[in-house]
Structure 1
Amino acid sequence: MMVNPQWLRSFVVLADLRNFTRTAEHLNLTQAAVSQHIRNLEQQFGPLLVRHHRHVELTPAGTALLDYSSEMERARRALDVRLSSAQQDVGDISIVTPGSIGLALYPLLLDYQQSHPGLTVHHRFAPDSEVLEAVLSNRFEMGILTYKPDNSRIQAEKFAEEPLELILPAATLYIGVETLETLGFIDHPDGIGMATRLLSRRYPDSPSVRDIRIQGFSNQVGLILEPVCRGLGFTVLPRFARRAFHDQDALQVIECGAPVVDTLWLIHRSEWPLSSRARGAINTLSKRLYDNG
């Protein structure tokens, strides 16, 4: 049911001042006009006021209408924030990322939110296919992909580069591919593909990583290095995932010659630009990401 905004304004001021005369003066209206507004509302919603000699009192229906007005005002302010491209320090920042870069970005997002307390951060971990769908469906304003999408509805720009790393337990003496065969491989959803790309350069004449026994598996990017640090195997992961691990001293990274580097792409809908708050955040995050490196 639609509520006439002028009538509602008269009611809200009256509910605050509790007096028809003062309300009319405040609104620069006649007292008769204010009374007519209230009568019109009461025809819609029933009795809203108990009228005393010098003041008025809200009925339960009047209190409900006042609550409705407050909710509409909050919604209006929220809409203003969401639609204002000039608001860099107020509103929502929503981003969806794959696991490795997400582990690196999320603490930086929290740092940024602490320095911009008017912002609200929404971050989700997801595989590439879900990242693309989430941005296309407007559930997230921006996302990060490990490939550049071929989609006219998506704008993509280079965000970061992320080398793959061969990671072993710190206590393991590395002498070559024999060490990897002895340890066994800690697999993960992208493990075989990443290990094949990296190890085929490091050991071009050796058997495939598929010939090395699987010593463990985890689909949680934050947990893949747990068995490695316990000496249970080796793995191959992007650098950001390794840097986010809590126990760096328990790991060692083996140099593999020419690096295998993935480009990470920032994506958003091509039909409209990123909001200024999203752009400000992503520029800061990109710089911080390399400063921390």
Structure 2
Amino acid sequence: MLSPAWLRSFSALAAEGSFTRAADSLALTQAAVSQHIRQIEAQVGPVFIRRPRGVELTPAGQALQAYCEEVERAGRCLASRLSDADALQGIVSMITPGSVGLSTYPKLLDIQSETPGLVIRHRFAPEDDVLKAVLDNRADMGIVSHHPQDERLAVERFCEEALELVVPAGADVEGWDDLVRLGFIDHPDGHAMATRLLSRRYPGKRGLADIPVSGFTNQIGLILEPVARGLGFSVMPRHARRAFARPEAIRVLGADQSVVETLWLIHRAEWDLPRRARHVVDELHRRLAAD
């Protein structure tokens, strides 16, 4: 069993790089820090290589450092859960794909404005980054379009979104060959969205493999700008299309044939969402349903 005091000395030494600085940061003697490290190494083997200018972590030391970081994260989660009894105060962090954020972020700001003491941090990211951020505890929760099969994640239905095929308003675009001629305006989630919609709309076609990419942007609010200028078509959620400032310059091809998909809310399965985060989720549900 590794004593918390030993682990504090280990973490300080790993951070400071010298026994003197580690001892000073902990208000201990060098002898005490050295004793703690000897106790650790008696159980797990050498964790540091001593060099004239400092210390270097061994593989065992790197594993122990990762363990200390896990313990620290668990401590923060415990403190967060124990503080839930207070009120709807503190930080709520959420990460979503850009297309989802266009509709959710203004509502998050409304919720924060109506809830004194609540601080909402929102970040846009592709879906792979959303999953990683939640798994790494860099966000309380995230939203994805695929139901993840990771036992570390709790998953619940969040809402539905309709994917639309958007083309230039003045372009003669009706069928598959017209899309190939026009080209695809890609975005971080564009390939996945277009593959899902086109495979259902045009069964038997190869999909994006047959369509040249005629543009790309990672700014969700700008995706439809090249479409409006006649440079290509794109696939995006309905709420993102509705946010475009020049709706007269675009049109939805087959508006009655949108593909409706489920969005999923994810968070770490090992602990419940803090009460303030659950409040944000419930309010988002209510406001999205009212749209």
TM-score tier by shorter-chain length is 0.5 to 0.7
> Percent identical across equivalent pairs?
54
What is the alpha-carbon distance in structure 1 between the residues aligned to residue 146 and residue 87 of structure 2?
A: 28
* Superposition deviation, residue 167 in structure 1: 0.4
Moved more, 242-251 or 279-288: 242-251
3-state SS of 1:160 partner: strand
Letter in 2 for 1:275: P
* CA distance 1:257–1:200, change in 2 (3 Å): farther
Residue 149 of structure 1 corresponds to: 148
In the alignment, what sits opposite 1:99? Answer: 98
Residue 135 of structure 2 contacts residue 153 of structure 2 at CA under 8 Å; is this kept in 1? yes
Structure with max Cα Rg: 1
Q: In 2, distance between residues paired with 1:172 and 1:140? A: 42
Residues 273 and 193 of structure 1: CA distance in aligned 2, closer, same or farther (over 3 Å): closer
CA contact (8 A) 1:88 1:280 kept: no
Count residues in correspondence.
Answer: 214
Letter in 1 for 2:194: A
How far the C-alpha of 1:178 sits from its partner, in A, is: 4.0
- In the alignment, which residue of structure 2 is the partner of 1:226? 225
Q: Secondary structure at the match of 2:221?
A: coil
The question of whether the paired residues in 2 share the 8 Å contact of 1:165 and 1:253 is answered with yes
Q: Distance in 1 between matches of 2:239 and 2:108?
A: 15
1:85 corresponding residue in structure 2 = 84
Tell me: CA distance 1:139–1:212, structure 2 relative to 1, closer, same or farther (3 Å).
Answer: closer
Identify the residue that residue 179 of structure 2 maps to in structure 1. 180
Distance, in Å, in 2 between the alignment partners of 1:109 and 1:137 is 23
* Matching of residues 252-263 of structure 1 within 5 Å: 252-255=251-254, 259-263=258-262
**2: distance between equivalents of 1:226 and 1:106?**
21
- Gapped runs of 5+ residues in structure 1? 1-78
Q: TM-score normalised to the size of structure 2?
A: 0.65
- Distance in 1 between residues matched to 2:138 and 2:101, nearest whole Å: 17
Distance in 2 between residues matched to 1:262 and 1:116, nearest whole Å: 31
CA contact (8 A) 1:104 1:240 kept: yes
Q: Which residue of 1 aligns with 2:114?
A: 115
Structure 1 residues 104 and 175: alpha-carbon distance in aligned structure 2, compared to 1, 3 A threshold: same
Shift of 1:201: 2.8
Aligned residue number for residue 203 of structure 1: 202
How far apart in 1 are the matches of 2:106 and 2:286?
14
Q: CA deviation at 1:257?
A: 5.8
Residues 192 and 138 from structure 1, CA distance in 2 versus in 1: closer, same or farther, beyond 3 angstroms? closer
**Offset of residue 134 of structure 1:** 1.9
C-alpha distance in structure 2 between counterparts of 1:96 and 1:189, whole Å: 15
CA change 1:191–1:145 in 2 (3 A) is closer
| Residue number in structure 1 paired with 2:214 | 215
Question: Amino acid of the residue matched to residue 202 of structure 1?
Answer: R
Aligned equivalents of 2:283, 2:220: Cα separation in 1: 24
Indicate if the aligned counterparts of 2:80 and 2:274 stay in contact, CA closer than 8 A. Answer: no
Residues 1:271 and 1:238: Cα distance change in structure 2 (over 3 Å): same
Alignment partners' CA distance in 1, 2:85 and 2:247:
41
1:151 deviation in Å?
A: 2.3
SS in 1 for 2:170: coil
Q: Partner of 1:237: helix, strand, or coil?
A: strand
In the alignment, the residues of structure 2 paired with residue 204 and residue 132 of structure 1 have an alpha-carbon distance, to the nearest angstrom, of 30
What is the SS of the residue equivalent to 2:157?
strand
What amino acid is the match of 2:277?
A
Does structure 1 conserve the Cα–Cα contact (< 8 Å) formed by 2:163 and 2:197?
yes
TM-aligned CA deviation for residue 234 of structure 1: 0.8
1:161 and 1:257 map into 2 onto residues whose CA distance is: 16
Give the direction of change, closer, same or farther, for the CA distance of 1:166–1:180 in structure 2 (3 Å limit).
same
Alpha-carbon deviation of 1:264?
1.3
The Cα of 1:199 is off from its aligned counterpart by: 2.2
Structure 1 residue aligned with 2:133: 134
Give, in whole Å, the separation in 1 of the partners of 2:113 and 2:140: 20
- Once residues 197 and 218 of structure 1 are traced to their aligned partners in structure 2, the CA distance between those partners, rounded to angstroms, is 20
Deviation string, structure 1 residues 92-133 (Cα, Å, up to 9, x no partner): 111111121122211111111111232111111122222222
Long gaps (5+) in structure 2 = 1-77
Query: Contact conserved, 1:198 with 1:256, CA < 8 A, in 2?
Result: no
How far the C-alpha of 1:258 sits from its partner, in A, is 5.0
Shift of 1:155: 0.9
CA, structure 1 residues 173+86, in 2 after alignment: closer, same or farther (shift >3 Å)? farther
Contact 2:126 2:189 in 1 (8 A): no
Query: Structure 1 pair 251/280, CA: closer, same or farther in 2 (3 Å)?
Result: same
1:81-101: CA deviation from partner (whole Å, max 9, x where unpaired) = 874223443211111111211
